[in-house]
C-alpha cells in the first residue's frame, strides 16, 4: 500500500486551513481541488476578508444553538483576533456594512499566514476528490488521478455556493455514503429576484437604502440595494438565510415615522428623508400620487404607512453563482462536540459542510475557524 497519512483534510478553505494549521505535520495531507488554497478567502469581504464580529453569539446563526455555542466558546472572536495579531495580519473594526465586523487589511495577509502555519503539511492541490471508502481501518480517498490513504479523515469541503471558485457537493456525498443525514442545501446570503408587482425595485437599480427587514420573528438592519435582477445588499443577504417561502416585510424608513409628516404642507417627495426617485416609485407601486402631505385622506394615509411594512413574497434568489454560502448540510445531531461522526469513527466534518450557517458580517468565517480548531484539537488528542 502507498503511504498512509495520519490525517487527510479534504478542502483547503478557511476551516480546512485552520485545522491543518493546528496539526502542521508531513503526516497531515491537505487535499484541494483548486490550484491554490483559500480561493473563497481571497474574495470575501471584497478582498479584505470579514474575519469575525465582536457581537458573536448563536442568535446570528441558523442551526443547533447548543452545538454552535460550544464550538464558538472553544475558539471565540477574541482568539481569532489574537491569532491574527500573532501572525502579524493587520485587521480593523469596520461597522459600515454590518455592525461589529472585523476585516483584515487584505485577504492576502491571511492567506500568507495560513501558508506559513501549514508549511509542514503535505499539500496536494488541483485534484478533485471523487469518492471515499473505508477499508480495513483506513480511509481510501479517490481523486480523478490518484488514491490516498489516511487513518483519519476531515471533510472541510464546504458547499456548492460560488461554483466558479471550485465549490461542489463532495462533502455531502461523503456524508451520505457513511449514513449521515444531509439537510437539503440551498443558496444563502444571496439576493432575491422579485415578482411583477415589485419590478419597481429594478427601475431603481444602483440605489441603496438603510432599512429593517423582517422575516418571521427575525429583524435585520442594514442596507438594501436595488439591482437589475431584484434586491440585494447586506440586510437582504442576511434575510435570505431565514426566508424559505412566503412573505417578508421591509421598513424603508426605520428611523422616522411617516405619520409625523402628515401635517406638513410640502409634497411628500420633498418632505420625507428618502431619495425622490424612491418615493415616486413607491407611490406608483401603492397607487398614489405625490402631493402635499396634509392632502392625503385617511385611507391614503394607511397605504402610506406601508412604507414601514412593505410586504411581498420574493420570486426566488440569485442562485449559487451569487450566493456567499450554502444553507443546509450535514446534520449536526449525528456529529459530536469534537466534530467527529457518531456513525463512523475517525471521520470528521467541519465548517460550511455542516448544517450551520451565519449571517453576513464575519459569522461564517468565525464558524469555519472555530470548528476547524475544535476538530484539530480532537485529532491531536
65-114 residue pLDDT tens: 999 999 999 999 999 999 999 999 999 999 999 999 999 999 999 999 99
**Domains of the chain in sequence order:** 4-186+328-380 (3.50.50.60), 192-317 (2.40.30.10)
pLDDT at site 26: 97
What's the pLDDT band for 166 if we cut at 50, 70, 90? confident
Percent pLDDT > 70 in the chain is 100
Q: Where are any strands of DSSP class E within 105-197?
A: 122-125, 129-135, 138-143, 147-155, 182-188, 192-193
Determine how many CB atoms are found less than 10 A away from the CB of residue 195.
Answer: 13
What's the pLDDT band for 1 if we cut at 50, 70, 90? low
Q: Can you say whether residue 66 is alpha, beta or left, with left for phi > 0 and alpha for psi between -120 and 50 degrees?
A: alpha
116 close to 87: Cβ distance less than 8 angstroms: yes
Summarised one tens digit per residue, pLDDT across range 234-272 is 999 999 999 999 999 999 999 999 999 999 999 999 999
CA nearest to 202, candidates 223, 230, 224? 230
First to last CA, the chain: 26
Summarised one tens digit per residue, pLDDT across range 276-316 is 999 999 999 999 999 999 999 999 999 999 999 999 999 99
pLDDT at site 163: 77
- The Cα angle at residue 313 between residues 219 and 187, in degrees rounded to 5: 75
Phi and psi at 347, nearest 5°, equal -110, 125
Summarised one tens digit per residue, pLDDT across range 235-245 is 999 999 999 99
Percent pLDDT > 90 in the chain is 94
Summarised one tens digit per residue, pLDDT across range 336-355 is 999 999 999 999 999 999 99
pTM above 0.75, yes or no: yes
Amino acid at each position: 500500500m502507498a503511504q498512509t497519512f495520519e490525517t487527510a483534510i479534504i478542502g483547503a478553505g478557511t476551516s480546512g486551513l485552520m485545522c491543518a494549521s493546528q496539526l502542521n505535520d508531513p503526516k497531515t495531507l491537505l487535499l484541494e481541488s483548486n490550484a491554490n488554497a483559500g480561493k473563497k478567502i481571497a474574495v470575501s469581504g471584497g478582498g479584505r476578508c470579514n474575519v469575525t464580529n465582536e457581537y458573536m453569539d448563536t442568535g446570528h446563526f441558523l442551526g443547533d444553538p447548543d452545538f454552535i455555542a460550544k464550538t464558538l466558546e472553544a475558539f471565540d472572536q477574541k482568539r481569532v483576533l489574537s491569532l491574527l495579531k500573532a501572525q502579524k495580519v493587520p485587521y480593523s473594526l469596520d461597522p459600515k456594512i454590518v455592525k461589529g465586523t472585523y476585516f483584515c487589511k487584505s485577504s492576502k495577509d491571511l492567506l500568507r499566514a495560513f501558508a506559513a502555519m501549514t508549511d509542514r503539511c503535505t499539500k496536494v492541490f488541483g485534484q478533485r476528490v471523487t469518492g471515499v471508502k473505508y477499508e480495513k481501518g483506513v480511509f481510501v480517498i479517490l481523486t480523478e488521478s490518484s488514491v490516498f490513504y489516511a487513518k483519519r479523515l476531515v471533510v472541510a469541503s464546504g458547499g456548492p455556493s460560488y461554483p466558479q471558485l471550485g465549490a461542489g457537493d463532495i462533502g455531502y456525498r461523503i456524508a451520505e455514503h457513511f449514513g449521515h443525514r444531509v439537510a437539503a442545501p440551498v443558496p444563502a446570503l444571496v439576493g432575491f429576484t422579485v415578482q411583477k408587482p415589485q419590478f419597481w425595485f429594478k427601475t431603481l437599480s444602483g440605489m441603496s437604502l438603510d432599512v429593517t427587514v423582517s422575516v418571521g420573528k427575525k429583524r435585520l438592519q442594514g442596507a438594501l440595494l436595488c439591482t437589475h435582477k431584484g434586491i440585494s445588499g447586506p440586510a437582504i443577504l442576511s434575510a435570505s438565510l431565514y426566508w424559505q417561502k412566503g412573505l417578508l416585510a421591509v421598513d424603508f424608513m426605520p428611523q422616522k415615522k411617516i405619520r409625523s409628516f402628515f401635517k406638513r404642507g410640502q409634497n411628500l417627495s420633498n418632505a420625507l428623508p428618502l431619495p425622490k426617485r424612491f418615493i415616486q416609485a413607491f407611490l406608483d407601486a401603492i397607487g398614489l400620487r405625490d402631493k402635499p402631505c396634509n392632502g392625503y385622506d385617511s385611507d391614503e394615509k394607511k397605504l402610506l404607512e406601508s412604507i414601514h411594512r412593505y410586504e411581498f413574497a420574493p420570486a426566488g434568489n440569485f442562485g449559487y453563482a451569487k450566493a456567499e454560502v450554502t444553507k443546509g448540510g450535514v446534520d449536526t445531531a449525528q456529529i459530536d462536540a469534537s466534530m467527529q461522526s457518531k456513525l463512523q469513527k475517525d471521520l470528521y466534518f467541519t465548517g460550511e459542510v455542516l448544517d450551520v450557517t451565519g449571517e453576513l458580517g464575519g459569522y461564517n468565517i468565525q464558524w469555519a475557524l472555530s470548528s476547524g480548531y475544535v476538530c484539530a484539537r480532537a485529532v491531536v488528542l
